Chain A
């Protein structure tokens, strides 16, 4: 079979940090190629370079044997490379046909759009692919899975030979995933090449025939999926033994810090029960969309649970709004610090003080000296590297920003710390400091509940791990009794 795409030694760094040091891939016509790797393995950087969004620092891309360098997604598309992104961005109030032919609508004599032939062409395309979608439907009326099918049709209308799919099943259910798979098989039969990116190993074995694995920004292996088993692939993705990257110094106590019993939220999760002890780091592991973040939202009063009870220090508590949770000594470090953790327009000091203003300034008038002092204390405790505390927090590195968020909550002397992906987008050095902060907090009698989709982190830092799948808990395990393979198996 002919080689549609060949990539060698692709490199890319951001601000001196290598996101990709050796990206490789070979894609043949009529093949579904799985691109595997953990978070931060460099998969999305790799795709973005191929799509012409990022400019590569080094390496070679060959399209049907000829070296290429795309400067924009439009160029990549013109060369027959299309991507179906994780977050689709259709124009919701336009029809399917209008979305497919966006920017190249067939025109009539006086410059008007020839809707009839556009709709006919779109319908023919959809029918050929056996997608049960009408070209005149509006995008807003389609399900996420149907929108993906429209994206596939759009890619084919551009005559794309290489189609990247970035975690296409992360937002759709099992039945819809099967429809997607049959669409992928049709693409395969048409002799197109599909690069399929997913964390879900069962899917990879179901739909793909070849694989390439990345780890820490570099190629680690490739081959036929028929020649490896699930365990081999996991070992390749997870790689090294858990090194001293995870320094764990806390010891769980006997007293329960927070207990959750039968917590439900109709659209997100059901019957979640767990208890985390003082001095313990309790891990919750699951894929995106498994309901883990939503549990925290209920525990912190951002959303309402439909059923269940929460106990703190053995007493039943009601949490309806964030201030209720804060009064009980609960702190929440959210998953996305830029959108929900920080006010990027304001200073380091203002952000550190943001959750403690009533305590710092009980008399309505701002206690400026108190704020200066609080900010100085937190910057020293967490070694936040900022030139001045009046500088905008947006000027800090990801790790320092995350430490500002931690400082904001530690200023309140919390008893229970809810951490949602505490080290996302943070470099190794800052990661280690965040782990140290977690352990110190637990050792001082605090309770830590940590959500993470990084398997190394969960195994390295948590004392016990609850695994989530599709909004349900599939079990809680002691860290000594489980391993990466087991966790990945349970969560997918």
Chain B
């Protein structure tokens, strides 16, 4: 009896269990502590609020996961959020000063424009990273600055106010009581999970991140895969930008500043290796939820937001330290 159990519960198996579910466990513990210490935490209203707060970072973090799995990084998502947000808003505003001629357009056109702006930014970054072999850090740092500049140029440094109710719905609407951004995050996450775990393309991403040389000698088009992940990341940043303007009702030129850091934090907390090849999209979702729950919990406890930043910093480093210990220590 004891022998069969010990054979099943081997050190290796125990390690993989911790590795795969450790972050989920951490999330549950965090949630348990918060629900005990604050009776308001587990109310439907607050849960819905946490999910809503997480949705934008969640969408960005999903895109970031694709990039980081190939061993890259996308620092530009915060600026792309602002650019896509403001350009799409100019197609959906009733204000006469900030509008594109003929606005407001049907919401579907505004949405398509927002995603297209993101995809265009991502295609440029992806081209430079994959085809011209410029390090991703440098390329997307450049895009971070350039996209922010374009945002200010486009809007003349002013916000685009008075968005149509249809456009605002994607940020404020509900379906069966669930906020629309949460549903959008669920769809994005589901598609990403399917792509990464169930499709050929997903396998290519892991192979490129794991060993680009071996992937190339196995006939995988490494350049193309590297290109596509930046398009995905920036396209999702475009979507997130529209969620943000829709929620606030106007597109601000300073929107999305430092959003890339939260997205990277979610991916890293979720256990994805910054050098690529290892990681799961479920980890990213939990990483984003941990950040959201932590911010919410600290808010509920009445702790100043300044402290939240310090704790988030400690959390990021702590999560990676545990990862290192797991892979090199025991």
Contact (Cβ within 8 A) A364 B206:
no
CB distance from B205 to the nearest CB of A (A): 11
Which of B199, B203, B219, B278 interacts with A350 by CB under 8 Å? B203
**Inter-subunit contact A339/B217 (CB<8 Å):** no
Min CB gap B276→A, angstroms: 8
| Docked CA distance A344–B213 (Å) | 12
A132 within 8 A of B: no
Residue from A339, A365, A368 in contact with B213 in the complex, judged by beta carbons closer than 8 Å = A339
Among B198, B200, B213, point to the contact of A357 (Cβ < 8 A): B200
A 336-369 contacts with B by CB, 8 A: 339-346, 350, 353-355, 357-358, 361, 364-366, 368
B218 to chain A: closest residue by CB: A355
- How far apart are A408's CB and chain B's nearest CB, in angstroms? 7
Q: How far is the CA of A334 from the CA of B197 in the complex (A)?
A: 28
Check B210 against A343 for contact (C-beta < 8 Å). Answer: yes
Q: Are A344 and B199 in contact (CB under 8 A)?
A: no
Q: How would you classify the secondary structure of chain B's contact residues: helix, strand, loop or mixed?
A: helix
Q: Is the CB of B217 within 8 A of A345?
A: no
Decide yes or no: A357 and B214 within 8 Å by CB, A345-B277, A345-B278 being known contacts.
no
Q: Out of B200, B206, B221, name the residue touching A346 (CB < 8 Å).
A: B206
**Cα(A326)–Cα(B219), bound, Å:** 7
B194-240: which residues lie under 8 A (CB-CB) from chain A? Answer: 197-204, 206-207, 209-211, 213-221
Query: How far in angstroms is the closest Cβ of chain B from A124?
Result: 41
Beta-carbon contacts of B299-310 to A below 8 Å, as 1s and 0s? 000000000000
Contacts of A344 in B (CB 8 A): 210-211
Taking CB atoms, residues of chain B closer than 8 Å to A357 are 200, 203-204, 220
Q: How far is the CA of A212 from the CA of B168 in the complex (A)?
A: 83
Question: Do B200 and A354 touch across chains, with their CB atoms under 8 A apart?
Answer: no
The verdict on A366 contacting B198 (CB below 8 Å), with A342-B211, A343-B210, A354-B207 known, is: yes
B207 CB to nearest A CB, Å: 5
Known: A364-B199, A364-B200. A350 touches B206 (CB 8 A): yes
Total residues of chain A contacting the partner, CB 8 A: 27
Report Cα–Cα, A215/B198, bound state, in Å: 51
* Contact pick for A343, options B197, B198, B211, B221, CB 8 Å: B211
Residue A211 at the B interface, CB < 8 A?
no
Contact of B200 among A302, A341, A343, A358 (CB under 8 A): A358
Task: Establish whether residues B215 and A354, one from each chain, have CB atoms under 8 Å apart when the complex forms.
Answer: yes
> Are the C-beta atoms of A300 and B201 separated by less than 8 Å?
no
A366 touches B203 (CB 8 A): yes
Q: A354-B207, A358-B200, A366-B202 are in contact. Are A322 and B217 (CB under 8 A)?
A: yes
Chain A residue numbers with a CB within 8 Å of B206 are 343, 345-346, 350
Q: Which of chain B's residues 117-172 have a Cβ closer than 8 Å to chain A? A: none
Bound: A345/B204 CA distance, A: 13
Q: How far is the CA of A342 from the CA of B209 in the complex (A)?
A: 12
Contact with B along A308-352 (1 / 0, CB 8 A): 000000000000001100100000101000011111111000100
Residue of B nearest to A324 (CB): B219
Nearest CB of chain B from residue A299's CB, rounded to whole Å: 12
Q: Chain A's nearest CB lies how many Å from the CB of B176?
A: 29
Interface pair B277/A354, CB less than 8 Å apart: no
Question: In the assembled complex, how far is the CB of residue A449 from the closest CB belonging to chain B, in whole angstroms?
Answer: 16
Q: Which residue on chain A has the smallest CB distance to residue B197? A: A366
B217 proximity list for chain A (CB < 8 A): 300, 302, 322, 332, 334, 340-341
**Contact yes or no, B202 A354, CB < 8 A:** no
Contacts of A334 in B (CB 8 A): 217
**Residues of chain B lying within 8 A (CB to CB) of residue A354:** 203, 207, 214-215, 218, 220
Measured between beta carbons, the chain B residues less than 8 angstroms from A408 are 218
Who on chain B is nearest to A367 by CB?
B200
Residues of B contacting A323 with CB < 8 Å? 219, 221
User: Complex: how many Å from CA A346 to CA B278?
Assistant: 8
Contact for A365 among B199, B204, B215, B221, CB less than 8 A:
B199
B210: chain A residues within 8 A (beta carbon):
343-346
Complex Cα distance, B42 from A263, in Å, reads: 72
Binary flags per residue of A363-396, CB closer than 8 Å to B gives 1, else 0:
0111010000000000000000000000000000
Which of chain B's residues have a CB closer than 8 A to the CB of A368?
198
Task: Name the distance in Å between A177's Cβ and chain B's nearest Cβ.
Answer: 31
Contacts A343-B214, A350-B206 given: A355-B201 contact, CB under 8 Å?
Answer: no
Give the distance in Å from the alpha carbon of A346 to the alpha carbon of B276 in the complex.
11
- Whether the Cβ atoms of B207 and A343 lie closer than 8 Å is yes
A248: shortest Cβ distance to chain B, in Å?
28
Quick one: CB contact mask for B12-34 with A, threshold 8 Å, 1 for yes? Answer: 00000000000000000000000
Contacts of B211 in A (CB 8 A): 339-340, 342-345
From 41 to 60 in chain B, residues with beta carbon under 8 angstroms from any chain A beta carbon are none
- Residue pair A346, B277 in contact (C-beta under 8 Å): yes
Contact B200 A322 (CB under 8 A): no
CB distance from A372 to the nearest CB of B (A): 14
Chain A residues with CB under 8 A of B278 = 345
User: What is the 8 Å Cβ interface bit string for chain B, positions 70-109, against chain A (1 contact, 0 not)?
Assistant: 0000000000000000000000000000000000000000
11 new A-B pairs (CB below 8 Å) besides A341-B217, A365-B200? A343-B207, A343-B215, A344-B210, A345-B206, A345-B209, A354-B203, A354-B207, A354-B214, A357-B203, A361-B199, A366-B198
User: What are 25 A-B residue pairs whose CB atoms fall within 8 Å in the complex?
Assistant: A300-B217, A302-B216, A322-B217, A322-B218, A323-B219, A326-B219, A339-B213, A340-B213, A340-B214, A341-B217, A342-B211, A342-B214, A343-B214, A345-B210, A346-B210, A354-B207, A354-B215, A355-B219, A357-B203, A357-B204, A358-B200, A361-B200, A364-B199, A365-B199, A366-B198
Binding site for B on A (CB under 8 A): 300, 302, 322-323, 326, 332, 334, 339-346, 350, 353-355, 357-358, 361, 364-366, 368, 408
4 shortest A-B CB distances, which residue pairs? A343-B210, A355-B218, A345-B210, A345-B277
